Amino acid sequence: MYAIVEIAGQQFKVSKDQKVLVHRLAVEEGANVSFDKVLLVDNNGTITLGAPAVEGASVGAKVLKHLKGNKVIVFKKKRRKGYQKKNGHRQALTQIVIEGINI
């Protein structure tokens, strides 16, 4: 059984006991959270497709920890102009574990 769910503006294919890294959620570590925007549910071969979301379906998850992603280097340069710009970014992430898919 799996579901396609929208979490923090991104779509994820999730199943029970799967760990997922999502954009930072505004909840404490150890808290339970529920996502209601379930786009598709596959229950042992029976596919339920939402328009846009499946009615009454939700995905329950537990927040494990907040962390930062890998550093991404942004480097800009214009040749023969003496212009160089170096910048870095680390995305704030939340690690969650999927506890169940409710239909």
Instruction: Please tell me the predicted confidence (pLDDT) of residue 22.
Output: 96
Query: What does the CA dihedral 88, 10, 19, 27 come to, rounded to 10 degrees?
Result: 80
pLDDT digits (tens, 9 = 90+) for 9-62: 999 999 999 999 999 999 999 999 999 999 999 988 899 998 899 999 999 999
pLDDT recorded at residue 50: 86
Q: Residue 23's closest CA among 89, 81, 67?
A: 67
Listed in sequence order, the residues at least 6 apart from 33 whose beta carbon sits closer than 8 Å to its beta carbon are 25, 27, 60, 61, 62, 63, 96
